[in-house]
Amino acid sequence: MKIQLAVLGSNDFLVLLKTILGTLSHGLPTDEFILHEYKYDRLEDIANVVCETRERIDAWIFSDQLAHDVATMQAVFQKSRVVSRDALALIRAIAPFEQESDGLADHFSIDNMSEEEVQDAIVALRFVKNVYRYQGRLEIASNAFEDLLSFHKVHYQEGRVKLCVTGNHLVFESLQRQKIPTLLLPYRETATSRMMISVVSEIKSEQFKHSQIAIQIVQVSNFNTLMDQDHVFYDIYRTYLKTQGLLLDYTEQVLGTFVSIGNGRFMIFSTRGIVEKQIDRAIHLLHQITGLTKLAANIGMGYGTTALEAEKNARLALNHAEKIAHDIGIYLVDEMGVIHGPLRESSGRKMKFRTDDKELSDKLHHAKINIVTYDRMLSTQEASAQKYITASSVSEILGMSERNARKILSSLHHSELAEVIGQETPTAKGRPRKIYRIKHGWV
């Protein structure tokens, strides 16, 4: 599948781009991408282009920082680059001007160039005495142009500079209309083509990674111990089927397939690109399984270019998870054999797998609830706008019936780990259902 590459910039930049694409010596893999060119003469053009095309573009290249910053106010880009202006571009622009202007270039303001490149240029431009560089990212799209224009105008009007050097064609045109000495930073063919090659190579690498095989091994520890406990056979089998149901729901989310290996171990096949987007869902799956079975559960993830390699890495990850996490955890071994983990929810909240608080531990033991289930419920309560929890929400996060969820909440209440703060208005016949608030002080 070819890469969809969008370029948004000034007319001068698009002309340069056509020259680069027509020169085979630059080594651009033109057969690997489809180029979409967009010219902007007004800031409004940028917003319109981005809103109309962002869904079908893999990467964006912007001719200047202003265009990039205005565009990012409209959308979040998976990959974007701004064409850099290097020290050689500044030298080529300012050295001839200095010879013709008789000293106007010894004090100047500049934008669209890094501090390092400016300093490298000054080493070669020995006549330069003071340079004022525009710093910081443009934050507000509606004022971006005015802010950049004002930067140059103020320095010139207050006598700090004799020349303004800009990388944006709109700023350049505006300053010239106001009779302010201004230079437009040129683009260099080699730097531009090198950046395009880099972008295409990065996307190809990411596409290759996303297509890698991903295998997840889910291990419910000591699943066979359910047989040794005082359970009716049908209850055990029902728990097994519910566990498989949770796994099937998750497998559907990652567009994969799963098989039961036996003894509480399941293997799920998918691709890396999909699995990486569903890490939160995998963590949620583990909490559902532990809530349902009251047993420890871990996931080992493995990536690889072959199923054999991915499975080998998944087994390594699972062994690490069982050794380190014990109760619950997800570890990953990538295609290079590097171990990552434990993987966390994107919110960054670290779930508790055990507690050193003896009083809390005793109360949980009395309620017959483990710390993982308790903390999962507390996390759900904190994430809610009302800061309370109900049997319905507990049944959803723990993958159980509302009847069992009510038993858990009742146990927490009797163990002084939760309080009843109200009742739900029933939507049908039946008794009003209690609303609980889990106490925070214990965690």
pLDDT in tens, 350-387: 445 456 677 888 888 888 887 767 877 887 777 666 78
The whole-number average pLDDT for the span 182-204 is 87
Q: Which domains does the chain have, with CATH numbers?
A: 3-83+190-206 (3.40.50.2300), 87-186 (3.40.50.10660), 211-340 (3.30.70.270), 358-438 (1.10.10.10)
- What is d(CA 60, CA 8) in angstroms, rounded to the nearest whole number? 8
395 pLDDT tier (thresholds 50, 70, 90) = confident
| pLDDT cut 90: percent of the chain above it | 36
- Asked whether residue 258 carries a pLDDT value surpassing 50, the answer given is yes
- What is d(CA 156, CA 153) in angstroms, rounded to the nearest whole number? 5
- Range of weakest confidence among 15-19, 84-88, 256-260, 374-378: 374-378
| Model confidence pTM above 0.75 | no
- pLDDT number for residue 401: 78
The whole-number average pLDDT for the span 426-438 is 75
Contact 66, 171 (CB under 8 A): yes
387 or 275, higher pLDDT: 275
- Asked whether residue 140 carries a pLDDT value surpassing 60, the answer given is no
